[in-house]
Amino acid sequence: MTVDSLADTFKQNESALLEQWIEAQRKAGIRSDLIDDRTMVDNSRDLLKVFIKALSEGGKDVEHASWAPVKSLLERLSQAQSRQGFTPTETATFVFSLKQPLFTLLAQQPDQLLAASQLVDKLGLYGMERFVASREEVIREQQESMLELSTPVVQLWRGVLAVPLIGSLDSNRTQVVMEALLQKIVETESDIAIIDITGVPTVDTMVAQHLLKTITAAKLMGARCIISGIRPQIAATIVHLGVELGDVITKASLSDAFQLALKELNVRLVSPNAR
């Protein structure tokens, strides 16, 4: 049985393997600012131990249940490294540098050498997969929190809401803005909502359509919408594209829109000194 003998060979030379592996890692360069030498040695020892155990129990099939501890350990290490800011190369090197001592050990048995090399490849790839997955998760989390952060709905006056939109509008964001706005309209019983697009870099037909959707939804709930903060270039673009804004009220600045809103609510601001 090649597998058993492979596992046996590893078991007999475990300490030598570990030593050479660590040596290889040191040679490849260790990010001493991110990980200390001792943690690296501990990680290597743990991984080698579960690796040999899995090999002797489950054979070379990494899908076998006995490989689960190896995978979970790799996953944990990859995740930690991805969060700490290791590069993909550094993470991959951790596993792939095991090859060098393996080659030295198995130099006399070429058939087993191939098997062992394939095993290390599979584990290395698995580690990379987890590394990337962890990265993607971080990106997703950040996207979500950006979405939440970038859509505040503020109350300017009793009955007047404002939504300062910053950044480009896509359908996902429109959905979030729409939900937040409508919810706030219900909460504050507002009659007028001002959508300020000063921070929206470009308005194309898609963005205009998203805006109109939001305005229509607000109208169905019984609130009127005013679009404010339209910059000269954007006004030109809207006309150039032939975007139909319908009967939506548009104002150049937020203050103009606010004035109109107060007028519609029959509110008049009077200075106490002016007589």
Partner 1 sequence: MVDKIPILKMGRYLLLSIQVDMHDQLAMDLQEDLTEQIVRHSAKGVLIDISSLEIVDSFIGRMLSHIASVSRILDAKVIVVGMQPAVAITLVELGLELPGIATALNVEKGMLWLETHVNDDLVAEVESDEHRDTPAETGN
For residue 69, count other CB atoms closer than 10 A to its CB. Answer: 16
Of positions 47, 195, 207, 218, contacts partner 1 by CB under 8 A: 218
Residues 6+ apart with CB under 8 A from 275: none
Total interface residues for partner 1 by CB under 8 A = 19
Q: How far is the CB of 183 from partner 1 (least distance, A)?
A: 6
Q: Is 213 in the site for partner 1 (CB under 8 A)?
A: yes
CB closer to partner 1 out of 32 and 266:
266
CB closer to partner 1 out of 135 and 224:
224
Cβ atoms of 18 and 40 closer than 8 Å:
no
Q: Is 179 in the site for partner 1 (CB under 8 A)?
A: yes
Question: Alpha helices of the chain — where are they, by DSSP H?
Answer: 2-12, 14-28, 37-58, 68-84, 88-96, 99-105, 110-149, 171-188, 205-220, 232-241, 254-264
Q: Is 220 in the site for partner 1 (CB under 8 A)?
A: yes
Q: How far is the CB of 180 from partner 1 (least distance, A)?
A: 9
Q: Is 17 in the site for partner 1 (CB under 8 A)?
A: no
Of positions 143, 145, 183, 253, contacts partner 1 by CB under 8 A: 183
Subset of 138-177 contacting partner 1 (CB under 8 A) = 175
Which tokens belong to 226? 């005013």
User: Distance between the two ends of the chain, CA-based, in angstroms?
Assistant: 104
Q: Is 56 in the site for partner 1 (CB under 8 A)?
A: no
Tell me the C-alpha distance between 158 and 155, whole Å: 7
Residues that bind partner 1 in the complex, under the rule CB under 8 A: 175, 178-179, 182-183, 185-186, 189-191, 213, 216-223
